[in-house]
Amino acid sequence: MTLPTALIEEAIRWRQQLHRQPELGYQEHQTSEFVAQQLAAFGLQVHRGLAGTGVIATLENGPGPTIGLRADMDALPITEKGDSPWRSQRPGVMHACGHDGHTAILLAAAKQLAQTRQFSGTVHFIFQPAEENLGGARKMVEEGLFRRFPMENIYAMHNWPGLPLGTLAVNPGAMMASLDSFEITLSGKSCHAAMPESGADPMVVAAELILALQTIPSRRLSPLASAVVSVTQIQGGEAINVIPEQITLRGTVRCLQSDVRHKVRGLIEEFVTSLPRPFAVEGEIHWYPGYPVTANHAQPAEQVRDAAQKMLGSENVRWQVNPSMASEDFACMLESCPGAYFWLGADGATPSAPLHNACYDFNDALIPVAIRFWQALVENVLKR
């Protein structure tokens, strides 16, 4: 399968253009407009407005099943450190996760499939806003993505530093962890730091609680269960000679199994309410539910593996890889529609900087590989 050189060059230009003008979640107005204009120029049916800046384009080509391909469009609130000619022109905002590449790749795949049409069925090209912590996928589902655009399966890819270019990784189960954030408030009694017996010190309780929470993965769960509990912020106190009235802790929980996720939440709540009591301190927790486990469905995952083996060779396909403890809101789409999420290797001769790093830049050498794979997957799933 050979791609036109002009298409590859165009997709690279798109990617670099998007990188120069990154936009945060639900603010992808310029990106959304650009994507919609290109899709319309390819002759596709274009629909706008889901989750605000979301774009969906439909390509019908005879009878057959309907599938969806998804790309994310938003950037991150990070100041870029790179010095490329396409460096971000918006201070404090950059494409540090490769969504510029994902968008350009899916655009190019839509153009290629609209021209070649070597399949029978319908493809929805889904350009999603606000993947980074803002739940754009969930919002699209809530606003009727699968009611308005019914489909048998949905697929999403992510570039993956740490895997060599030309490799693909996919599982018939979990690929990414769930994400929940929490805020714990510890309320005591303020007093002079020289007279701690006259108060109730929430600072000491905070120290005890942070350490206690780390025993959940190590002592309260099976070693075969996967969970990470991280306290990432601690705030409280105003003067160095005053024991504060209140301390606030914030952090996240990541799990690879839904039942473990529920158990960990219950254990944290138990610690928060019971551990402070002997110190005459009260504990309260507020949850900010994030994303569920990104769990692939077996058949769509096998379809991804089969297409990858045909295109890349069996030696370049990783099956049953270790999942990542990072999270992905495509999980919300997988809860409502069967599908699969997979990684495409991003490391060339020089390893890629990590995702969410100020020095990261998308590897443009991945673009033709990814376009070809989207085409191969569609033609494999929607055989003529």
Q: What is the pLDDT of residues 281-325, one digit of tens each?
A: 999 999 998 899 999 999 999 999 999 999 999 999 999 999 999
Q: What is the pLDDT of residues 317-369, one digit of tens each?
A: 999 999 999 999 999 999 999 999 999 999 998 999 999 999 999 999 999 99
Interval 172-195 mean pLDDT = 96
Q: What is the pLDDT of residue 82?
A: 83
- pLDDT for residue 1 is more than 80: no
Interval 109-120 mean pLDDT = 98
Give dist(CA 135, CA 328) in Å, integer: 9
Q: What is the pLDDT of residue 96?
A: 97
Q: What is the pLDDT of residue 290?
A: 87
SS (H, E, C) 22-80: CCCCCCCHHHHHHHHHHHHHCCCEEEECCCCCCEEEEEEECCCCEEEEEEECCCECCCC
For 154, residues 6+ apart whose C-beta sits below 8 A from its C-beta are: 67, 68, 69, 70, 126, 300, 333, 334, 337, 338, 339
- pLDDT for residue 122 is more than 80: yes
Q: What is the pLDDT of residue 81?
A: 95
Q: What is the pLDDT of residue 289?
A: 83
Question: Chain-wide mean pLDDT for the chain?
Answer: 96
Q: What is the pLDDT of residues 48-77, one digit of tens each?
A: 999 999 999 999 999 999 999 999 999 999
Give dist(CA 85, CA 82) in Å, integer: 9
Q: What is the pLDDT of residue 133?
A: 84
Cα atoms in the Cβ-side hemisphere of radius 13 Å centred on 46:
20
Residue with tokens 């469905």: 297
Neighbours of 191 (CB within 10 A): 17
Q: Look at residues 130, 158, 139 and name the one whose alpha carbon lies nearest to residue 32.
A: 130
Length of the chain: 384
Q: What is the pLDDT of residue 356?
A: 96
Interval 137-151 mean pLDDT = 97
Neighbours of 280 (CB within 10 A): 13
Residue with tokens 């399968």: 1
Q: What is the pLDDT of residue 85?
A: 95
Give dist(CA 15, CA 32) in Å, integer: 14
* CA 67 centroid distance within chain: 20
Radius of gyration of the chain (CA): 24
The tokens describing 124, both together, are: 């929805």
Interval 260-269 mean pLDDT = 96
Q: What is the pLDDT of residue 298?
A: 97
Quick one: how many helices (H) and strands (E) in the chain?
Answer: 11, 16
% of the chain surpassing 90 pLDDT: 96
Q: What is the pLDDT of residues 200-256, one digit of tens each?
A: 999 999 999 999 999 999 999 999 899 999 999 999 999 999 999 999 999 999 999
| Whole-number Cα distances in Å, 106 to 39, 60, 173, 255, 344 | 10, 16, 24, 30, 14
